[in-house]
Amino acid sequence: MIAMSKIKVGIINITGYTGAELARLLARHPMVQICSVTGRSAIGQKVAQVFPHLSTIDLTITSDIEDAELIFSAMPHKASAETVVPLLKQGVKVIDLSADFRLKDPSKYPEWYDFVHPAPELLREAVYGLPEFYRSKILTARLIANPGCYPTGAILALAPAIKENLIASDIIIDSKSGVSGAGRTLSLATHYSEAADNVRAYSLQGHRHLPEIVQELEILASGRSFSVTFVPHVVPTTRGILTVCYATLKEGSLTKSGQLLKLYRDFYDGEPFVKITDIPPETKQTWGSNLCIIHPTIDARTGRLIIVSCLDNLVKGAAGQAIQSMNIMYQFPETTGLEALPLYP
C-alpha cells in the first residue's frame, strides 16, 4: 500500500440515492475523509438534517466541492459531464457515476441521451470502472466511468461464456429492478400507488443502457458482434436487480451444467465480489453488499444457456463499485470499506 494517510474525497449530489449510498459507505472507510458534499436541493443544510442515518458526517451541504483530491459525481447524465470537465482541468481525479463517460462513441450520446457530449476527447481516456476486467487501467486512471447497474449484472453474467466463445450472436437479457433505480426525483411511475403490487416492463424499443452492454460484450468478444435484446422491468421492491440472460450454445460447446459451473468458478476465481452459486440467487441475498451473485445453467431440452445474476443496484450497481475502483486507484486492499455482508431478511 503506497498511500497511508487518508485521502480527501468529495461527493457531488449527496441528496440522491446514489450520493447518499456513497456517503454511507465512505463514512466507515478507514482510508477516507469526506471533506465536502454538494446537493442542489439542500444547500446550507447539515447532512444529518437531510439524512439522519448519516449523522456521523458533520458537514454542511454546499454548492461547490472544496479541497478534495478525488471527487465522486452522482449527478444525472449531461449535468455530470458539464460538472466533471472543469474538475479534470483543475487536476482532480473523478469517478463519475452517470452515463456521461461510459460510451466510447460520442455519436451515441445524441441518440441515446439526447445531448451532444461537451468533451468527446475524454471518452477515449475514461476507464470503464468494472474492476473484474479493467483493474490495471483503473489503477492509473484520472477519470473512471462507473458502469450502469443493469450493465454490471448483465456483463458479469455473460462474460465467461462470451470469452470462451460458447454462444451464438443472439442474446436476450431480461432484468428486474427495484424502484430506487429510478432515482429520488418524484415521478408518477414511482409513486407508491403506481409501483406497489405491480410489475412493469419499459423501454422495449431500447433502454439507454443497451449500447453500454453491447459495447462491453463486443470488447470481451474481441470485436465479434451480437444481437442483444434487453428488456428492463420495475418491480415493487426498494433495492436489487435480478437479471436473466438467455443465449443459444454453439454446437460442440458445453452440454452439462456442471461443466458450465466449473468454467464460471475458474473464470471468477479470486474475485472478491463475484460469487458463483449452485442454485439461482435472489435479490435479498445481495442487499446492502457489493456482491454480484451468479448462477449459470443449461436447458438440456433446448441447448440454451440461462444465467441468473443478482446485485444491489445502489451498491455493486453504483456506489460500492465506485469505491471498489477508488480502492484500486489508491492501492488500498480492494475490499476496504466494502466488507459488509448482505442484510437478511
Domain harbouring 169, CATH code: 3.30.360.10
CATH at 127: 3.40.50.720
Regarding whether 178 and 216 lie in a shared domain, the answer is: yes
Look at residue 184 and tell me if it is in a domain.
yes
Regarding whether 167 and 66 lie in a shared domain, the answer is: no
Regarding whether 91 and 132 lie in a shared domain, the answer is: yes
Q: What is the pLDDT of residue 73?
A: 98
- pTM beyond 0.75: yes
CA dihedral over 318, 108, 140, 76, signed as positive or negative: negative
Regarding whether 116 and 263 lie in a shared domain, the answer is: no
Regarding whether 176 and 198 lie in a shared domain, the answer is: yes
Q: What is the pLDDT of residue 131?
A: 98
Q: Give how far Cα 120 sits from Cα of 86, 108, 110, 126, 142, Å.
A: 14, 11, 12, 10, 16
Cis before 345? omega within 30: yes
Q: Where are the alpha helices (DSSP H) in the chain?
A: 17-26, 47-50, 79-89, 108-113, 121-125, 131-139, 149-163, 192-195, 210-220, 257-267, 320-329
Look at residue 273 and tell me if it is in a domain.
yes
- Residue 71: which H helix or E strand, with range? strand 70-73
Local mean pLDDT, 10-residue blocks, the chain (345 residues): 77 98 98 97 96 97 96 96 95 98 98 97 98 98 98 98 95 98 92 95 96 98 96 97 96 86 97 98 97 96 95 98 98 97 91
Regarding whether 136 and 41 lie in a shared domain, the answer is: yes
Look at residue 76 and tell me if it is in a domain.
yes
CA dihedral over 199, 211, 21, 275, signed as positive or negative: positive
Regarding whether 13 and 127 lie in a shared domain, the answer is: yes
CA dihedral over 217, 219, 220, 221, signed as positive or negative: positive
CB 94 within 8 A of CB 143: yes
Would you call 292 a catalytic residue per the annotation? no
Catalytic residue, from 35, 149, 245, 310: name it: 149
Spatial separation of the C-alpha atoms in residues 22 and 222, rounded to whole Å: 34
Torsion of CA 341, 278, 251, 271, to 10 degrees: 30
Domain that holds residue 166: 150-312
Regarding whether 171 and 250 lie in a shared domain, the answer is: yes
Q: Domains in the chain: how many in total? A: 2
Regarding whether 129 and 42 lie in a shared domain, the answer is: yes
Look at residue 338 and tell me if it is in a domain.
no
Q: What is the pLDDT of residue 4?
A: 63
Look at residue 343 and tell me if it is in a domain.
no
Regarding whether 324 and 280 lie in a shared domain, the answer is: no
Regarding whether 85 and 127 lie in a shared domain, the answer is: yes
CB 144 within 8 A of CB 95: yes
Regarding whether 252 and 131 lie in a shared domain, the answer is: no
Look at residue 334 and tell me if it is in a domain.
no
Q: How many CB atoms lie within 10 A of CB 339?
A: 11
Look at residue 243 and tell me if it is in a domain.
yes
Spatial separation of the C-alpha atoms in residues 132 and 291, rounded to whole Å: 12
Q: What is the pLDDT of residue 258?
A: 92
